[in-house]
């Protein structure tokens, strides 16, 4: 786990000694916690084969933020995030409704909800801005994320909710793994699969909302998607996967806060996502066994042995045992199902 001291001292260097206020440290800690929790919760979404379930919810949050501002007339983070949560849940509910009553394909339904809900948010936001409603400045920071404006109180709230989410996952870890690995078995053993799925989706929605101030509505999905994908490269066990994803999310979040602290024009979201993407790319390449390089080396070694007539890589008594990785064949673009699809 990368020590927190490093980035913190970086902040000190970047902004000059004496300028690292208590507030900055609390915000850093809060956003780091959000990054960790997003990685943990996102891992479960990935294992449940619904990595992008939060995307529709994420795009809808903007409308919730704008509506909450119109309702309260203040830029009060808890209220705005409350509105965002309502909107996120509403978007997911509409998605479920469309699946029930319309014969629109799942992916198209998701795209419809993403596009239209974001459009509502943008129209509300632009309307508020155009009317110059007092106190509305800075609402657009929820688009791409901006941590500089966060107060220590805000950060504590984000951290508390994130820790609660992590605690729920820790408590129900056993149930979550059975659900994700073998839902049929889980149902037959008497676990309420529908309820567990609902809790999982709710956790993702909460993480999307909590991640909003740091990563913004457009990119917050990445906070839930990329760290688990990167972490999967490094481990073959579910528990370590969750922790690794959390640490990667934390690292990316801290990087985002530190870098944007020194470049005021830059939004936090894109930087966090780029940091996570970098870690992910490196993981794809160099991870042991699953990494591209490791697989390439293994193949070269195997082929060299075969060329020497040494077939010991194959245990002939149990020939089909030595399959290294169950790689599905490259399917054609036409079959690329993105997002949603929710395991039907």
Q: In the Cβ-directed half-sphere of 326, how many Cα atoms lie within 13 Å? A: 2
Whole-number Cα distances in Å, 226 to 150, 203, 232? 24, 17, 10
Question: Residue 29 or 268: which CB sits closer to another protein?
Answer: 268
Give min distance, CB of 46 to another protein, in A.
6
- What is the nearest approach in angstroms of another protein to the Cβ of residue 273? 4
Q: From the CB of 121, what's the least distance to another protein, in Å?
A: 7
> 229: closest CA among 265, 175, 278?
278
For residue 340, what are its two tokens?
Answer: 């949603």
Work out how close the CB of 170 gets to another protein at its nearest, in angstroms, rounded to a whole number.
10
* Of residues 149 and 153, the one with the C-beta less far from another protein: 149
Shorter beta-carbon distance to another protein: residue 4 or 116: 116
Nearer to another protein, 5 or 333 (CB): 333
The CB-of-136 to another protein minimum distance in angstroms stands at 13
- Closest approach, Cβ 125 to another protein, in A, equals 7
**Residue with smaller CB distance to another protein, 7 or 121:** 121
CA distance 254 to 126: 31
Closer Cβ to another protein, 20 or 255, answer by number: 255
| Residue with Cβ nearer another protein (140 or 159) | 140
CB of 283 to another protein, least distance (A): 9
23 vs 289, beta carbon nearer another protein:
289
Least Å distance between CB 153 and another protein? 28
* Closest separation in Å from C-beta 18 to another protein: 28
Query: 3-class secondary structure for the chain?
Result: CCCCHHHHHHHHHHHCCCCCCHHHHHHHHHHHHHHHHHHHHHHHHHHCCCCCHHHHHHHHHHHHHHHHHHHHCCCCHHHHHHHHHHHHHHHHHHHHHHHHHCCCCHHHHHHHHHHHHHHHHHHHHHHHHHHCCCCCCCCCHHHHCCCCCCCHHHHHHHHHHHHHHHHHHHHCHHHHHHHHHCHHHHHHCCCCHHHHHHHHHHHHHHHHHHHHHHHHHHHHHHHHHHHHHHHHCCCCCHHHHHHHHHHHHHHHHHHHHHHHHHCCCCCHHHHHHHHHHHHHHHHHHHCCCCCHHHHHHHHHHHHHHHHCCCCCCCCHHHHHHCCCCCCCCCCCHHHCCCCCCCCC
**C-beta of 202 vs 341, nearer to another protein:** 341
Instruction: Return the axis-axis angle of helices 5-15 and 238-262, rounded to nearest 10°.
Output: 10
């Amino acid at each position: 786990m990368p020590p927190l001291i490093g980035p913190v001292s970086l902040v000190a260097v970047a902004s000059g000694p004496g300028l690292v206020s208590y507030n900055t440290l609390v915000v850093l800690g809060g956003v780091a916690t959000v990054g960790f929790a997003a990685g943990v919760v996102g891992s479960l979404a990935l294992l449940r084969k619904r990595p992008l379930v939060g995307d529709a919810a994420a795009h809808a949050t903007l409308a919730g933020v704008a509506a909450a501002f119109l309702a309260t007339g203040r830029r009060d983070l808890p209220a705005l995030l409350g509105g965002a949560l309502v909107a996120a849940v509403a978007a997911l509910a509409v998605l479920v409704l469309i699946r029930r009553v319309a014969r629109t394909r799942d992916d198209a339904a998701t795209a419809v909800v993403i596009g239209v809900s974001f459009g509502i948010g943008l129209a509300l936001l632009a309307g508020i801005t155009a009317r110059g409603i007092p106190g509305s400045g800075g609402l657009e920071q929820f688009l791409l994320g901006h941590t500089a404006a966060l107060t220590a109180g805000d950060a504590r709230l984000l951290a508390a909710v994130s820790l609660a989410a992590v605690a729920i996952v820790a408590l129900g870890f056993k149930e979550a793994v059975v659900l994700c690995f073998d839902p049929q078995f889980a149902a037959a053993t008497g676990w309420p699969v529908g309820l567990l799925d609902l809790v999982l989706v709710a956790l993702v929605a909460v993480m999307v909302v909590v991640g909003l101030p740091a990563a913004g509505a457009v990119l917050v999905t990445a906070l839930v998607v990329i760290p688990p994908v990167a972490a999967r490269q490094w481990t073959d066990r579910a528990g370590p996967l969750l922790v690794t994803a959390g640490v990667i999310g934390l690292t990316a979040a801290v990087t985002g806060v530190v870098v944007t602290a020194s470049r005021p024009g830059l939004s936090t979201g894109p930087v966090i996502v780029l940091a996570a993407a970098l870690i992910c790319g490196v993981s794809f390449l160099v991870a042991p066994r699953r990494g591209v390089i490791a697989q390439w080396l293994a193949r070269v070694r195997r082929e060299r042995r075969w060329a020497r007539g040494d077939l010991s890589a194959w245990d002939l008594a149990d020939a089909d045992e030595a399959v290294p990785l169950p790689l599905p064949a490259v399917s054609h673009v036409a079959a690329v199902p993105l997002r949603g699809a929710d395991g039907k």
